[in-house]
Structure 1
Amino acid sequence: MAEPALIPDLARGPASRHGADPSPGVWRTGRLMTGLKARLTVATLTRSPGMIVGTILGGLWGLGVLFMIGTGLFAAAGALPPEGTRATAVLVGAAATVAWWVAAIASGRADATLHASQFALFPLPRKGIALGQVLGALVGIAGPFTLVGLLLYTAVWRLDATAWVTAVVLLPAGWLLMVVGNRCFTALAERLAAKRRVGEILTLLLLVLLMLTGPILTGLFTGVESLGARIYTVTDVVAWTPVGALWAVPADVAAGAWLPALARTGIAAVTLAALLWLWRGALGKSLENATGAVVSGGGRSQVKGAGLFDRLPARPWAAVAARCLTYWVKDPRYSGSLVVVPVMFVLFWFMSGGGGGLWFFAGPLVGLLMAYTISGDVAYDHKGFALHILTGVPGWADRLGRVVGMLLPGIPLTALGVLLAAGFSDAWELLPAMIGVSALALLGGAGLSSVMSARYTYPVPLPGQSPFKTPQGFTVLNVLIQFVALTLMGVLTLPALIPFVIQLVTGSAAAGVISLLVGVIAGPLLCAGGIWLGGRWIEARAPELLNTVSAYR
């Protein structure tokens, strides 16, 4: 809504009054885009009392995390020798820089409100758009928090005044390196993701890496601990890389090593210039391809018949299930959930040492994950849901079709989790109880998701976009509501989970039988009740729900 208001401001630029180039200057474009970003940010965060509360809670949580990091760096400055302080500063700064750059690939788009395609039809200079995107980070959320974090980061040099002053002076350069790298890699990732299959494969690989972050970090920490004094050698290498050079300059200045300090400053400057050059080219491509259309792979294979629609009964709920199953196979926003499950099994094995421990809860956790995936189905299925309304699909048929589409892959995966848990733990006597808890988690969670997605929806990535992309309008309040939904799903499993825990502690076989009976009886009842209630709500408020998800486009 703010874009039309931008047109008169641009039209009143100095050049337009003299009959020359009607486009505004670089600095004026940057200032206008920054103001637009500020107004949109304030409007998004204050549009309702609940949003304000969520923003305050999220801000307090973020500040708490930054305070903990700052406290750790403050303490490290007094507990470590000078070499250790230098190693901490370099490695922490390099890790933060890499995190900013990698976040661009994970999110799929650095800032949806100031994306270049939003301004392709306006007579704006490319350099002005780039400046606006950088300055816009100052009035967003991540940018200011990063500035605060960098200020706290300088506490690592608190015992050396020269190094501390140098770190404060270089702070804007470090922030700029992070933000420009983020924007550059975002633009490059978008060009690569435009090739649909390549983008989907990269997305799934990134998802696997994120899931395995714990084992990877554990291995790294173990490796670092075994390095001992060799960590300083690693720091020396990182200090000459594009991500670590800038953070080593304060130590060089404090030590009077002016030649290395100048050399590392030059590395940082060349890195920033290279990122700007790459970003300029990628930004031009974004402006040329302003429609954001996804280029599909030009495969020659042809599908004969109606696919899954030919293999399921000719009923409204079956048509919905067939279309949902197609999404589970071809849409990375759905198929990513299927990839997560095998990775979860790896995590269970790693964290439980091969057997016992978390393995006992593999089946229920997989069931909860699969059930939760359909909580945002209406938002994911925007056009399909509109078709349901126009063709008069009953609300219960819409709910049932989505549940069936999820259960067809969900039941085998949940069963696999239960069997692996019993096999790796050599606890086949717990199999009935694990089946009961898993059934209640999967079916009861599906019923709750059927109600939730009919009553509440939230912004989701659009088709063809990365599942990790944070869509415009997604706030801390959305996260809190989803957390509450997951908590309620966990609470639903308690009637079967409590007897299961009793069997784990006492070895009572009767408790395991009770858990099984509760799961196989209460699970289907809760699922049927959720489908019925969700269907009633769908029929009662379908136009309002469609209007809500339409706003996300």
Structure 2
Amino acid sequence: MVAHLIRLKAQLLANGFRRSPWQLVGVIISALYGLFIAVMLIIGLFALGAQDQELIRTTLVLCGSVLVVAWAVVPVVFSGADATLDPARFAGFPVPARQLTTGLLVSGFVGTPGALTLVLFMATAAAWRADPAAAIVAVVCGILGALLCLAVARLTTTAALALTAKRRFREVATILVFIPLVALGPIIGGIEAGLSAIFTVLPRVADVLAWTPLGVFAALPADVAAGDWGLALGRAALAAVYLALTVWAWSVMLMRSLRNPVQTSGGSGKAQEGLGALSWFPATPWGAVAGRCMTYWIKDPRYAAGIVIVPLLPFIFWYASSQATTPFFVYAAAPLMAIMMGFSISADVSYDSTAFSLHVSSGVSGFHDRLGRALACGLIAAPLVLAAAIIPPMVLGRGNDAVVLVGLTLGGLLSSLGLASVASARWTYAVVLPGENPFKSPPGAGARAAVTQLATMAAAMVLLVPEIALAITYFVTQNPVFAWATLGVGLALGASLLVLGLRWGGRWFDARLPELMQAVTLNR
């Protein structure tokens, strides 16, 4: 049964490749990226082997502990990232508990995260290459440590099943966790000054972690290298107990969850009163589309996940400006925000999923569909990007700079909305389905989505060249005429490109309704 589950996991992954060649391309790209990271880390481990034993032990225990914590936390927050061999699907099968838990646990190595963790844990032997006995022990501990990571991940996800089954928890948690990842540079810069102060404490922290499940396997080879075999045997026994208890606790929780499955919550359960955002717009075809899209922007976490970086850009660029010789680097945030916000509706048709059938059956025209979507996005984006364009120059006491930035920003927003209106009517790609984890990677989405997004963003930057040229001329000459020229050209050219995009995208939408409906169905 264990071997059957492993083969089943491998077969499911292989079937996904046959379903979509884009998924195969995406997996190959991610595998090559993972291989590159693994090679770099293995080279680092090999270089670490030239240091003294205390430094090797401290580094490996701390890094191993961080990795175990990551396996415990990330699968809970990003629940549903890999639903292959979902334990709930085995509820109706009389599979013995021991075989089911063992098969599900070992099958975790069939996939990039599990395989990469196994390789890296075993590669810690390179750091102990000066002591053959410690290197051999490091290989064995690496296998068991990787197995502990998978067991900890299964344990935490099963224990948090009742909480992660609530849709609102999944939506909020994934987005909140992603925010510090986006701002990782400023965070690292902020703590960099304090690293020297805590560096002397790290060995003592490693000593404590070496007796916990987090670092016990990483510390074992160090005991062997030091020749303390008694301590090594005691730590090995403790490590075995930790691993056995983790697997046993997960097995108990798994069997309990299979006997009493938790019902997944699809919403808040509160009744909706009135028309909501639909009442904000006139009773016209484009007004109905705008109202529904505004509801998406307010309630659908996939939209928030797609633009979670946008409100953080001014702070990131402000930090970059503080580290550079000029404070004006923060000016780049507003135009970039505008382009990203306008570009965000390029996947609107894909996000509609089955609801796109309403557009087909109701006969709404392509122009009205494009106009409603662009209007909803524009109403959300305009206050954000204008604030990012006006506040920094005002703080610096440079009012004419604000005029330039407003022209650049509005030109970028309007032209990118027009461009996205064309792109979403012509190209679709697989996106996360409604109600799923907003950061989940759907089959076939990787390479095709990346190519479409990069091409659209590049085209948006090209369309902004006239405004950029005028803005550069202003900053070189400091002539306010060019500041107002940037504003005028941004509004006029941006509005023209928006109207052109709405009409062109509308014609494509009308001509390709059957293809779009088919694409949305296949993307599910």
- Name the CA distance, whole Å, in 2 between partners of 1:275 and 1:482: 43
Of residues 40, 64, 69, the one that matches 2:36 is 64
User: 1:407 corresponds to which letter in structure 2?
Assistant: G
Once the two structures are TM-superposed, the CA of residue 115 in structure 1 deviates from its matched residue by 1.6
Paired position in structure 1 for 2:7 = 35
How many residue pairs get aligned? The number is: 522
Give matches, 1:523-538, under 5 Å.
Answer: 523-538=494-509
Task: Within 5 Å, give how 1:511-550 maps onto structure 2.
Answer: 511-550=482-521
Partner of 1:105: 76
- Measured after TM superposition, the shift of residue 359 of structure 1 is 1.4
- Show the counterpart of 1:8: none
Write the mapping of 1:48-447 to structure 2, written as runs, cut at 5 A.
52-78=24-50, 80-280=51-251, 282-284=253-255, 287=258, 293-299=264-270, 303-336=272-305, 340-353=309-322, 356-447=327-418
Contact 1:503/1:509 (<8 A) preserved: yes
Distance 1:196 1:443, change over 3 A: same
Q: Distance in 2 between matches of 1:278 and 1:441?
A: 54
1:313-350 alpha-carbon deviations (Å, 9 max, x no partner): 11111111111111211222224457644433333333
Residues in 2 aligned to 1:137 and 1:495: alpha-carbon distance in whole angstroms: 52
Unaligned runs of 5+ in 1: 1-27
Residue type at the aligned position of 2:439: F
Q: Is residue 314–residue 333 contact of structure 2 (8 Å, CA) maintained in 1? A: yes
Give, in angstroms, the shift of residue 167 of structure 1: 0.9
Deviation at 1:33, TM superposition (A): 3.0
Instruction: Compare 403-412 and 110-119 and name the one that shifted more.
Output: 110-119
Q: Cα 1:444–1:274, aligned 2, differ >3 Å: closer, same or farther?
A: farther
- Secondary structure (helix, strand or coil) at the match of 1:114 reads coil
In the TM superposition, what whole-angstrom CA distance separates every residue of 1:119-177 from its partner, at most 9, and x where no partner exists?
A: 44445445544444333333323223333333444322223323222111212112212
Counterpart of 1:44 in structure 2 is: 16
- 1:229-283, Cα deviation, whole Å (9 max, x unpaired): 3322222233233222211111111112334434443454344344434533554
Which letter does structure 2 place at the counterpart of 1:68?
M
**Aligned residues of 2:408 and 2:486 also touching (Cα < 8 A):** yes
Q: Is the 8 A contact 1:444 1:526 kept in 2?
A: yes
8 Å Cα contact 1:106-1:469 kept in structure 2 = no
Contact kept? 1:45, 1:51, Cα under 8 Å:
yes
TM-score normalised by length of structure 2: 0.89
Q: Counterpart of 2:39 in structure 1: which amino acid?
A: F
CA distance in 1, matches of 2:260, 2:503: 45
The amino acid of 1:183's aligned partner reads: R
Deviations 1:464-490 (A, max 9, x none): 333222234444453444344333333
TM-superposed deviation, 1:290: 7.0
CA distance in 2 between partners of 1:240 and 1:193 (Å):
30
Preserved CA contact (<8 Å) 1:374 1:450: yes
Deviation, 1:220, is 4.0
Q: CA RMSD in A?
A: 3.0
Identity of aligned residues (%): 38
Query: In 2, Cα distance between the equivalents of 1:543 and 1:287?
Result: 42
CA distance in 2, matches of 1:243, 1:373: 40
Structure 1 length-normalised TM: 0.84
Q: 1:71 to 1:384 in 2, by over 3 A?
A: same
User: Mind listing any 5+ residue stretches in structure 2 that lack a counterpart?
Assistant: none
The structural deviation recorded for 1:501 is 3.7
Aligned residue type for 1:467: P
What is the alpha-carbon distance in structure 2 between the residues aligned to residue 154 and residue 426 of structure 1? 58
